[in-house]
Structure 1
Amino acid sequence: MRIHAFHRLFLHRQAVATRVFNARGSKVVRCDYCQVATKYCVCAYQPDIDTDVAVMLIVSESEVFKPSNTGRLILDAVKEGYVYQWNRTEPADEMIALLENDDYQPFIVFPDEYVDVKSRLIEQPVQSFCAGKKPLMILLDGSWREARKMFRKSTYLQHLPVLSIQPQVLSQYMMRKSENEQHLSTAEVAVLVLDQLGEQAASKMLDEWFGVFRETYLLSKTRIKPDLTRPALKHYLAANPQLDD
């Protein structure tokens, strides 16, 4: 299993925490990495695929501790991934340096209705927009309320272009309630953007991996009758036999 930036942030925050974060399902004994019940751990099946994109997650204060978080799944699939704790006034120096690196074309993925300066919106295909530079997809990872706050109050992000997506299907995310059933989870957003960037193999892999996580996460839910045959995992491994060693 490849340990990535989200895992490292989680373990660091866990080590320095002065109190226990009690998310829903806190009584379940979970794997520190995939965050599902240890008896159903899926770390051995983590995706192994190469891409020509980079991803940056900016996570809200408590998001890194939520076992229902799907941002970590993106870094399972995209090997060049960066994760930073959101800070309104003191962003990490490393993050700012990455945003200013001329080798990358950073862009934030966010709905156009919240973009006041419409000239920031990417109107052409995002793959063409990033031509000549490595795409750096920036995702604000938190509840919808937290994501709006991060988008509006982060002055260091205000100059960056914005990619707005219009999902054609309802979210399959069932682990956490949303204000709007058309709001996608962070992983579902990344699936759509990867496809637009021409990374169809990575998009498909992440979509299937998201299905595995959703299925496995729900196995520990007492209100839902679990399907212990794990059809999503079987489908994923059948499509990626190299991962089932």
Structure 2
Amino acid sequence: MTTPSHACSVCGFIHNCICDHQPNLESQVEFALLYHENELDKLTNTGRLLLNGLPKAKSYLWQRKVQPEALINKIHQEDIEAWLLFPSDAPTLSSEYLTSRDPSKKQLFILLDATWQEAKKMVNKSPWLKALPCLELSPSEISRYHLRRNQSQGNLCTCEAGIEVLEMVKEPENAQALFKYYDQFLTVFQAERSGHSYNSNALGAPKK
């Protein structure tokens, strides 16, 4: 919830709180968002949508000199199979995932919440990340995320990547619910950044 001058503590918006659209999803898989410190306070960040919609998703902070021990310990648990969503020379493609995974283990997907340039540095400076098997998504649609300058064409934002993973693991209802939440975020974002409430009628939408 928001007050006229304070951002919502959950979605971060002041004028266009989207919490009424937030799902509360149960998934058979787990997500770990590894944040670059530059991402934490960005209004354009979509990782928070994934964390809000999937209560079991966890966030961790990446720092060059301080390893996220809690995440590393989780990766090394015997009942966990961890995947890093990141390109590599020999990735497992999303189309191959179901036949490549170990069905006896819990599936953990690690998403790097950072710009493409920051994500590459995170992997290059973290041997424990480099050691993980990489998963490469093959999205059926191009990214709808256009909120930042100098974006790498074809790359998905964090929330879109989470939606693709849910589709990949055969959870279409969860994927659709998260997509609707993300869609509302995109719908009101420009109005929020401009400092006013979103008005659908201003865009030619039919009046109710």
Q: Give the TM-score normalised by the residue count of structure 1.
A: 0.72
Residue 92 of structure 2 is matched in structure 1 by 122
- 1:58/1:134 CA distance change after superposition, 3 Å: same
Confirm whether residue 61 of structure 1 aligns to residue 37 of structure 2: yes
What amino acid is aligned across from residue 34 of structure 1 in structure 2? C
- Candidates 183, 199, 203, aligned match of 1:211: 183
Q: Which amino acid aligns with 1:33?
A: V
Provide the identity percentage: 28
Higher relative contact order (CA 8 A, sep 6+): 2
Change (3 A) 1:229 1:132: farther
Unpaired runs of at least 5, structure 1: 2-27, 232-245
- Aligned CA RMSD, in angstroms, stands at 2.6
Unaligned 5+ runs, structure 2 = 204-208
In structure 2, distance between residues paired with 1:230 and 1:100: 52
Q: Which moved more, 1:176-185 or 1:194-203?
A: 176-185
Q: Is the 8 A contact 1:47 1:209 kept in 2?
A: yes
Moved more, 51-60 or 144-153: 144-153
Q: Closer, same or farther in 2 for the Cα pair 1:35/1:108, shift >3 Å?
A: same
1: CA distance between counterparts of 2:140 and 2:7?
33
Secondary structure of the corresponding residue to residue 112 of structure 2: strand
Q: CA deviation at 1:224?
A: 11
Kept in 2, the 8 Å contact 1:63–1:69? The answer is: yes
Check conservation: 1:127, 1:198, Cα contact below 8 A: no
Normalising by the residue count of structure 2, what TM-score does the alignment of the two structures yield? 0.84
Superposed CA offset, 1:179-206 (max 9, x none): 3232211111111111111121111111
Amino acid in structure 2 at the alignment position of 1:70? T
Count of residues paired in the alignment:
198
Q: Is structure 2 residue 148 aligned with structure 1 residue 176? A: yes
Query: Does 93-102 or 41-50 show the bigger shift?
Result: 41-50
Matches within 5 A, 1:98-177: 98-111=74-87, 115-116=88-89, 118=90, 121-122=91-92, 125-128=96-99, 129-177=101-149
Give distance in 1, aligned partners of 2:119 and 2:113: 6
